[in-house]
Chain A
Amino acid sequence: MMKENNINSDTSNEIIDNTAPLLSNINKNNGFVVPDRYFEQLSSKIQQQCVNSSKESWIKSILFSFAKPKYILRYSFTLVLLVLGAYFLLQINNSSTNTKGISSYSFNEQDTISDLIVNEEIDETELTDALANNSEIELQPINTIDNSQLNSNDIINYLIEDSEDNNDYIY
């Protein structure tokens, strides 16, 4: 309380009287010129400015709120995320398309091979010659004959031709 009183009593006049005799003799009127009737008009000018500013301010505040640094960071972060997301989505789409392509390609290839086997006329002699020339390949007996399509007479005839004993076969 004492301190407060000291501060309040420490007026500018006391300091100036004590330390600045020249300054203490100067009239405190600051001498600046103001246009006539300025203060009478100032109030209405300010009111008008405030009305105009409040009309503009909400539009400006919306526009400029988006331009604040914190929002710019957020927007750029979101944009980067969107770009990365789009990139990965495209990558996933591309890889699935490629898988489809390979599968369809292999399927087509199989088709083509089977087509080749079925449609192309391969000479049997060429195959036997090729196999005979290649000594490393051992020919395995492959039973390609459908037994159900053979009758007993055919088999007997075949065995007679090849001098085989039919008793070796069990029916």
Chain B
Amino acid sequence: MSELSDKEILDLFNSNPNYAFNLLVNKFQKQIYWHVRRIVIDHDDANDVVQNTFIKIWRNISDFRNESKLYTWIYRIATNESITFLKQKRSLFFIPLINVEKELSNKIDDTHFFSGDEIQKKLQKAILCLPQKQRIVFNMKYYDNMKYEDMEEILGTSIGALKASYHIAVKKIEKYLTEH
């Protein structure tokens, strides 16, 4: 069976919401998981965030208006859930921002979490050195090759600012890779 378009899935929500939601989960689960995983790093955390994201989608799908694309709406929910999760982690353990990033960086050294080669490990550590929003912008552009227009919808940041942010992130990462 060929994959249904976003519009067809949305139309199905009127007649058979459970089936439509099943299709939506199957269509977006991998993309959303990897997007979240790159932000929160830990698999279990990513699993929780992804589940929360889809629960939110299920609850609010009736409020979705076709003003934006379905996938940008889903990405926005996932991004916000990931940011909220990291915020809660900081406030829960009273740890400053820099220590959370350090903790995430340590997880990359754990072979249970990461199986990439040394240069990939170094790249992940370089990405973790970026400020949170810059990190998200870099991941979306570098790994997902997302259009700036879609990123603008998801992050609510202008295209110019996103381009600048990505350029700066690339330079910082290159510098990190050169120095380490």
- A interface residues with partner B (beta carbon < 8 Å): 4, 7-8, 10-12, 15-16, 19-23, 26-35, 39, 42-43, 45-47, 49-50, 53-54, 57
Contact = CB atoms under 8 A, between A and B. Distances in A.
A50 B21 contact: yes
Interface string B113-137: 1111101110110000000000000
Top 6 closest pairs, chain A to chain B, by CB: A31-B116, A20-B174, A31-B120, A50-B58, A22-B177, A46-B54
15 contacts: A4-B149, A8-B147, A15-B166, A16-B142, A19-B167, A29-B116, A30-B124, A31-B117, A31-B120, A34-B33, A42-B47, A47-B18, A50-B58, A53-B58, A54-B59
Interface in B157-180: 159, 163, 166-167, 170-171, 173-174, 177-178
Q: Which of A8, A43, A46, A53 has the most chain B CB atoms closer than 10 A to its own CB?
A: A46
Interface string B41-83: 1010001001100110011000000000000000000000000
B145 A49 contact: no
Interface of B: 18, 21-22, 25-26, 29-30, 33-34, 37-38, 41, 43, 47, 50-51, 54-55, 58-59, 111-117, 119-121, 123-124, 141-143, 145, 147-149, 159, 163, 166-167, 170-171, 173-174, 177-178
A23 B167 contact: no
Contacts of A33: 43, 111-115
B148 A7 contact: yes
Contact of B143 (A20, A30, A42, A50): A30
A27 B43 CA distance: 21
Given A33-B43, A43-B26, A49-B54, A26 B119 contact: yes
B171 A43 contact: no
Contact of A46 (B25, B34, B177): B25
Contacts of A15: 166-167, 170
B159 A7 contact: yes
B122 to A, nearest CB: 9
A23 B170 contact: yes
Given A20-B171, A31-B120, A46 B145 contact: no
A19 B170 contact: yes
Contacts of B58: 50, 53-54
A50 B174 contact: no
A22 B33 CA distance: 27
Given A19-B171, A23-B174, A46 B29 contact: yes
A22 B117 contact: no
